[in-house]
């Protein structure tokens, strides 16, 4: 008989609805039950693409005897960390404080009022090596709670006090200046792996925020060393098994130092940020490899990770048929069975396929040689050879589609969708792909219309109930607002539809009202609508996604330029001042904040274009602006209307010269003489 999780929309929670464990979702009912029964709470946190979460579920939560012990001694709560990041953040801090490490599945034992007193991550179903089995842990915790509760409560209070102390923002009256950027260089470059890219050692995570910051540093200083590090890293990633050579898109991380063996789950947020990184690297270098990775990754998202209503799914699993990576790997015989002898020989050579394989007897496809080097070593016509490779890749993709695919976590999360919306919009503008911009616009319509409450405030998650309707839940978090504001501004730059700026401004006002602390001058991650936890969460470090506060600081600066509202940039600067100690001590953990610092400390160029949408001169001007890496440039425009627009100081008073498409190149709203030729605009841009 299904448990209480059967009424949830999270795919992760629904995976546990038939467990013999009497699971509760997080909420007042579970906390009240623990109080009434005088039992400790067993809080289990994970996510749908988490391999070890699945392992512990199969070993323990599907085990009748272990479930009976859980039901007899505890009130059991299951949480999807992606749905409730505030719960995850607080109790991850607690487990890290108690044990020195953390991860998922996260297992926390706590009092009915939410005070944690013991925790860990994965527990096996029986004693193994130096790990206590889960039944022994359950028995020990039950015994301690019954017979030594005061000691547990005393220890718990120490943990809670530590969390509260860490969560209090410190005011800082230092200056936001470019010296903060230069100070980050030594640490970031000093830890670089100059042979394989990324940081030294294994496992290796993509860390797109770090390399975005290094691209900005290169743009500011012209350092060829920095650009070489970025190029090396993203080239090695694109050649490795962490990149799906057949289907496009990146896995979560590489277990080895050479980017070969991935942990095979694919996360929406990774791919959104990596599309943007590769796009910016293409703008900086013009390398065709980077453009190809952008195209293939967005094709993957469109093909496999997009709902008909326009939302982007959260993740795909690492496992299929209970085996990690089975969907993605190939034996040499499987390659031979699909392709004729000539094509098979080419595929084996290009993607490093061997009889023995490189992963448990099979092959993770990768590029032993770069595509350029492979082509240069062949006697065949390079264009024809490229065509053959693409044809073979399509054949393998079609054959792979017949396999049992990994599960898809099909919930739609606003912040992650906004990151991908921005990637589609910017890639569409840079690579002249109107279809990608249309995908971004469709996604924006979904987020702005269906994932809001009756008072117009953002909600956090949406699960489809039909082709066009869905169930939206959970009040939006800071990063939902910040990422959507930022994405809408990029969508405006791609379309010149000012309604996106209007929507962004409305969301910014809501964000400030709900999340801004006037006394401390910072944004918190939660509003008063969220759960009343031990502390009010404020996750200021970059993790797999950028800090919501950092995205807010960048988005408010950009919005201030479009709207002329100086209050936005003032809040951005105030929030950044609280981060100065971390900029100086641990810059690698706050690189998205450093991007906001770079924006504030730059002479920002503003380009305003006026013209008819089908005029080739307007298209050429937009292409010229978008073809170069200009991270702090702001683009505005009016199409199809000869009059100026009073809503923005960038647009007010701007008119076409003699009815021609016209460009204004400005700095801090002060513009040079308007020009009507692309070459003149490029010269003014410098």
Same domain (yes/no): 596, 621:
no
Same domain (yes/no): 560, 624:
no
Q: What is the CATH number of the domain that holds 41?
A: 3.40.30.10
pLDDT tens, residue by residue, 359-403:
999 999 999 999 999 998 988 888 999 999 999 999 999 999 999
Laid out side by side, the sheet with 266-267 consists of 266-267, 315-316, 408-409
**End-to-end alpha carbon distance in the chain:** 69
Decide if 580 is inside a domain.
Answer: yes
The mean pLDDT of the chain is: 94
Q: How far is CA 497 from CA 5, 13, 126, 456, 500, in A?
A: 42, 39, 60, 21, 6
The pLDDT of 52-67, averaged and rounded, is 95
pLDDT > 70? residue 85 = yes
Q: Look up the pTM and report it.
A: 0.95
Whether the link from the prior residue into 382 is cis, omega within 30° of 0, is no
Instruction: Identify which of 395, 262, 293, 424 has the alpha carbon closest to the alpha carbon of residue 336.
Output: 395
pLDDT tens, residue by residue, 448-465:
999 999 999 999 999 998
Instruction: Identify which of 524, 417, 407 has the alpha carbon closest to the alpha carbon of residue 82.
Output: 417
Decide if 574 is inside a domain.
Answer: yes
Same domain (yes/no): 64, 162:
yes
**Distance (Å, whole) CA 85 – CA 481:** 14
Which tokens hold the place of 39?
């039992």
Same domain (yes/no): 35, 156:
yes
CB 542 within 8 A of CB 550: yes
Decide if 278 is inside a domain.
Answer: yes
Which tokens hold the place of 61?
């939560």
The shares of helix, strand and coil residues in the chain, as percent rounded to the nearest 5, are 50, 15, 35
Which tokens hold the place of 557?
């600066």
**Distance (Å, whole) CA 262 – CA 219:** 31
pLDDT > 70? residue 641 = no
Same domain (yes/no): 235, 373:
no
**Count of domains for the chain:** 4
Percent of the chain residues past pLDDT 70, beyond the cut? 99
Does residue 659 come out as left (phi exceeding 0), alpha (psi in the -120 to 50 range) or beta? left
Residue 2: per-residue pLDDT: 87
Residue with tokens 């038939």: 18
Whether the link from the prior residue into 521 is cis, omega within 30° of 0, is no
Residue 673: per-residue pLDDT: 93
CB 535 within 8 A of CB 167: yes
pLDDT > 80? residue 417 = yes
pLDDT > 70? residue 95 = yes
Q: Which pLDDT band, with edges at 50, 70 and 90, does 529 fall under?
A: confident
Decide if 172 is inside a domain.
Answer: no
pLDDT tens, residue by residue, 644-662:
677 899 998 888 999 999 9
- Say which residue, 100 or 231, is predicted with more confidence: 231
Decide if 174 is inside a domain.
Answer: no
DSSP state letter for 587: G
Residue 184: per-residue pLDDT: 81
**Distance (Å, whole) CA 59 – CA 322:** 13
Percent of the chain residues past pLDDT 90, beyond the cut? 85
H/E segment holding residue 235: helix 224-239
Q: How far is CA 650 from CA 154, 369, 507, 597, 610, in A?
A: 59, 48, 21, 22, 12
Same domain (yes/no): 369, 226:
no
**Distance (Å, whole) CA 570 – CA 659:** 38
Partners of 611 in beta bridges: 639
CB 118 within 8 A of CB 142: no
Can you give the length of the chain in residues? Answer: 686
List all residues 6 or more positions away from 242 whose beta carbon is below 8 Å from its beta carbon: 204, 206, 250, 251, 253, 254, 259, 260, 262
Same domain (yes/no): 290, 239:
yes
Same domain (yes/no): 557, 457:
yes
Which tokens hold the place of 566?
């100086």
pLDDT tens, residue by residue, 530-588:
878 889 999 999 999 999 999 999 999 999 999 999 999 999 999 999 999 999 889 99
The pLDDT of 218-223, averaged and rounded, is 94
Q: Give the lowest-confidence range in 56-70, 128-142, 284-298.
A: 128-142
CB 685 within 8 A of CB 676: no
pLDDT > 70? residue 639 = yes
Residue 642: per-residue pLDDT: 58
Residue 644: per-residue pLDDT: 64
List all residues 6 or more positions away from 112 whose beta carbon is below 8 Å from its beta carbon: 31, 34, 35, 38, 39, 40, 41, 75
Residue 409: per-residue pLDDT: 96
Q: Which pLDDT band, with edges at 50, 70 and 90, does 77 fall under?
A: very high
CB 189 within 8 A of CB 229: yes
The pLDDT of 37-62, averaged and rounded, is 94
Same domain (yes/no): 229, 158:
no
Q: Which pLDDT band, with edges at 50, 70 and 90, does 442 fall under?
A: very high
Residue 584: per-residue pLDDT: 87
Work out the number of other CB atoms within 10 angstroms of the CB of residue 482.
28
Which tokens hold the place of 367?
């590029």
| H runs (alpha helix) in 260-331 | 268-285, 288-304
Give the CA-trace dihedral at 321, 367, 419, 421, to 10 degrees: -90
Residue with tokens 């940020």: 273
Same domain (yes/no): 202, 69:
no
Residue 369: per-residue pLDDT: 95
Which tokens hold the place of 651?
């647009």
CB 459 within 8 A of CB 453: yes
Same domain (yes/no): 484, 431:
yes
Q: Give the lowest-confidence range in 42-46, 128-132, 154-158, 491-495.
A: 128-132
Instruction: Identify which of 140, 94, 153 has the alpha carbon closest to the alpha carbon of residue 119.
Output: 94
Residue 667: per-residue pLDDT: 86
pLDDT tens, residue by residue, 245-267:
999 999 999 999 999 999 999 99
Which of 542, 570, 600 corresponds to the end of one domain?
A: 600
Instruction: Identify which of 101, 103, 39 has the alpha carbon closest to the alpha carbon of residue 70.
Output: 39
Q: How far is CA 116 from CA 53, 70, 92, in A?
A: 20, 17, 10
pLDDT tens, residue by residue, 303-314:
999 999 999 999
Same domain (yes/no): 126, 188:
no
**Distance (Å, whole) CA 187 – CA 585:** 9
The pLDDT of 618-630, averaged and rounded, is 95
Q: Give the lowest-confidence range in 169-178, 566-575, 627-636.
A: 169-178
CB 125 within 8 A of CB 83: no
Decide if 442 is inside a domain.
Answer: yes
What string of DSSP letters covers 403-429? S-PPPEE--EEHHHHHHHHHHHHHHHH
Which of 167, 187, 209 corresponds to the end of one domain?
A: 167
**Distance (Å, whole) CA 526 – CA 480:** 11
What's the CA angle centered on 575, arms 100 and 570, to 5 degrees? 175
Decide if 543 is inside a domain.
Answer: yes
Domain that holds residue 393: 328-402
H/E segment holding residue 75: strand 75-80
CB-facing half-sphere around the CA of 463: CA atoms within 13 A: 16
> In 3-state terms, what secondary structure has residue 109?
strand
Query: What burial letters (b/e) apply to 352-389, b meaning 16+ CB within 10 Å?
Result: bbeeebbbeebbbbbbeeebeebbeeeeeeeeebeebb
Decide if 173 is inside a domain.
Answer: no
Which of 133, 167, 201 corresponds to the end of one domain?
A: 167
The pLDDT of 84-107, averaged and rounded, is 93
> In 3-state terms, what secondary structure has residue 117?
strand
């Amino acid at each position: 008989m299904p448990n209480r999780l059967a009424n949830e929309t999270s795919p992760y929670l629904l995976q546990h609805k038939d467990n013999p464990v009497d699971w509760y979702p997080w909420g007042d009912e579970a906390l009240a039950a623990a109080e009434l029964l005088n039992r400790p709470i067993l809080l289990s946190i994970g996510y749908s693409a988490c391999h070890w979460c699945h392992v512990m579920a199969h070993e323990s939560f599907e085990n009748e005897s272990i479930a009976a012990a859980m039901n007899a001694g505890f009130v059991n709560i299951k949480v999807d960390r992606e749905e409730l990041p505030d719960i995850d953040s607080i109790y991850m801090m607690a487990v890290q404080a108690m044990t020195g490490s953390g991860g998922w599945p996260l297992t926390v034992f706590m009092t009915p009022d939410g005070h944690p007193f013991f925790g860990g991550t994965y527990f096996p179903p029986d004693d193994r090596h130096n790990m206590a089995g889960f039944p022994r842990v359950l028995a020990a915790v039950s015994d301690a709670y019954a017979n030594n509760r005061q000691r547990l409560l005393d220890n718990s209070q120490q943990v809670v006090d530590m969390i509260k102390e860490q969560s209090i923002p410190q005011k800082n009256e230092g200056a936001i200046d470019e010296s903060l950027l230069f100070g980050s260089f030594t640490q970031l470059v000093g830890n670089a792996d100059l042979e394989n890219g990324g940081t030294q050692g294994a496992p290796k995570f993509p860390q797109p925020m770090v390399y975005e910051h290094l691209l900005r540093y290169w743009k500011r200083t012209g350092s060829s060393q920095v650009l070489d590090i970025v190029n090396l890293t993203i080239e090695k990633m694109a050649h490795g098994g962490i990149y799906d050579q057949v289907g496009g898109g990146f896995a979560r991380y590489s277990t080895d130092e050479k980017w070969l063996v991935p942990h095979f789950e694919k996360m929406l947020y990774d791919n959104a940020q990596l599309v943007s990184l590769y796009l910016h690297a293409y703008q900086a270098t013009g390398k065709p490899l980077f453009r190809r990775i952008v195209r293939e990754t967005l094709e993957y998202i469109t093909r496999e990770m997009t709902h008909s209503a326009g939302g982007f799914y959260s993740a795909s699993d690492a496992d299929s048929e209970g085996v990690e990576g089975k969907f993605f790997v190939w034996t040499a015989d499987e390659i031979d069975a699909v392709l004729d002898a000539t094509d098979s020989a080419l595929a084996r050579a290009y993607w490093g396929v061997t009889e023995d394989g490189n992963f448990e007897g099979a092959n993770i496809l990768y590029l032993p040689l770069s595509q350029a080097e492979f082509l240069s070593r062949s006697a065949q016509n390079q264009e024809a050879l490229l065509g053959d490779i693409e044809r073979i890749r399509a054949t393998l993709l079609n054959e792979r589609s017949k396999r049992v695919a990994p599960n898809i976590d099909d919930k739609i999360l606003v912040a992650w969708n906004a990151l991908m919306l921005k990637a589609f919009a910017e890639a569409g503008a840079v690579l002249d792909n109107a279809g990608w911009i249309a995908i971004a616009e469709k996604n924006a319509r979904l987020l702005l219309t269906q994932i809001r409450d009756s008072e117009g405030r953002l909600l956090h998650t949406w699960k489809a109930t039909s082709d066009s309707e869905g169930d939206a839940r959970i009040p939006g978090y800071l990063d939902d607002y910040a990422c959507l504001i930022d994405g809408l501004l990029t969508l405006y730059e791609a379309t010149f539809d000012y309604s996106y700026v209007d929507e962004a401004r409305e969301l910014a006002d809501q964000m400030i009202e709900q999340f801004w602390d006037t006394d401390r001058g910072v944004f918190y991650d939660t509003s008063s609508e969220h759960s009343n936890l031990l502390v009010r969460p404020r996750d200021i470090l970059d993790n797999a996604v950028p800090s919501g506060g950092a995205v807010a600081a960048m988005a408010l600066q950009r919005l201030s330029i479009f709207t002329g509202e100086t209050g936005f940039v003032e809040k951005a600067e105030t929030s950044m001042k609280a981060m100065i100690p971390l900029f100086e001590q641990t810059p690698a953990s706050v690189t998205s904040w450093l991007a906001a610092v770079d924006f504030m400390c730059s002479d920002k160029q503003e380009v305003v274009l006026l013209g008819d949408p089908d005029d080739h001169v307007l298209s050429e001007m937009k292409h010229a602006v978008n073809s170069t890496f200009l991270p702090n440039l702001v683009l505005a425009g009016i199409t199809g209307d000869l009059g100026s627009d009073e809503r923005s100081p960038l647009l007010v008073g701007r008119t076409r010269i003699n009815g021609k498409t016209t460009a204004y190149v400005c700095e801090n709203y002060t513009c040079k003489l308007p020009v009507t030729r692309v070459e003149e605009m490029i010269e003014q841009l410098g």
